[in-house]
Amino acid sequence: MALAHAILAVLLESPCSGYDLMKRFEGSVGFFWRASHQQIYRELGRMEKQGWLQAELIQQEGRPNKKRYSVTEIGRDQLKEWILTPVEVSPVRDDMLVKLYVGYLVSPEQILEQLQHHQQQHHERLQVYRQIESCSFPDASAVLSATALYQYQTLRYGILYETQWLAWCEEVIHTLRLTHQISPQEAPDP
């Protein structure tokens, strides 16, 4: 039930609506968890029933009303307890690696195309994370509070992860070009 715990973690930082949660999951906390809005609303409902959260209806004018969820004492205790129970490392499941494993089935150019598509996506994510880093943690030598320090470490993970992916993509693309004598694609001259 790690989605529930991820939600607790985010709401503990600051209470918000399901809609806002969704955006936080696809944005700033996306480097450790992702969830769709359907998943989030369902889970919020369950968690409220169990007493982990409490909802407060916020009336708004000019836009739909919303429910603001905050973590209860019970929810907080649940989260604490969960932290202390050891977990196995998350299993790796990556489409790109499966594709590469059987890359010999198609032409090197076609594999290169897939790799470059992937590379670009990781590049974009890295940009986003670096943006967050320079906004939220501009001073590398600053003394951080406990909460900021832990959050920064998870962001650091995201940055290392994407950097490693890019390095791997570079390595594979380089090797492929060497062994198949493909020259890098250049912008066509007008």
Partner DNA sequence: CGCCCCATGTAAGCAGTTACATGATTAC
Partner DNA sequence: GTAATCATGTAACTGCTTACATGGGGCG
Structure tokens at 132: 């967050």
- The C-alpha R_g of the chain, in whole angstroms, comes to 21
| DSSP per residue, 49-105 | HHTSEEEEEE--SSS--EEEEEE-HHHHHHHHHHHHS--PPPPP--HHHHHHHTGGG
Structure tokens at 144: 């951080």
- Minimal distance in Å, beta carbon 104 to a copy of itself? 4
Of the candidate spans 2-10, 78-86, 132-140, 156-164, the one that interacts with DNA by CB under 7 A turns out to be 2-10
- Residues 86-145 close enough to bind DNA by CB under 7 A: 91, 93
Nearer residue to DNA within complex by CB, 4 or 8: 4
CB 120 within 8 A of CB 173: no
User: Which residues have a Cβ under 8 Å from the Cβ of 84 and sit 6 or more positions away?
Assistant: none
109 near a copy of itself, rule: CB under 8 A: no
140 near a copy of itself, rule: CB under 8 A: no
Structure tokens at 179: 């062994």
Count of residues near DNA by CB under 7 A: 29
Give the binding site for a copy of itself (CB under 8 A).
2, 5-6, 8-9, 12, 29-34, 76, 79-80, 82-84, 86-106, 110-111, 114, 117-118, 121-122, 125, 146-147, 149-151, 153-154, 156-158, 160-161, 164, 167-168, 171-172, 175, 179
Give the binding site for DNA (CB under 7 A).
1-4, 17-20, 22-23, 34-39, 41-42, 44-45, 60, 62-67, 91, 93
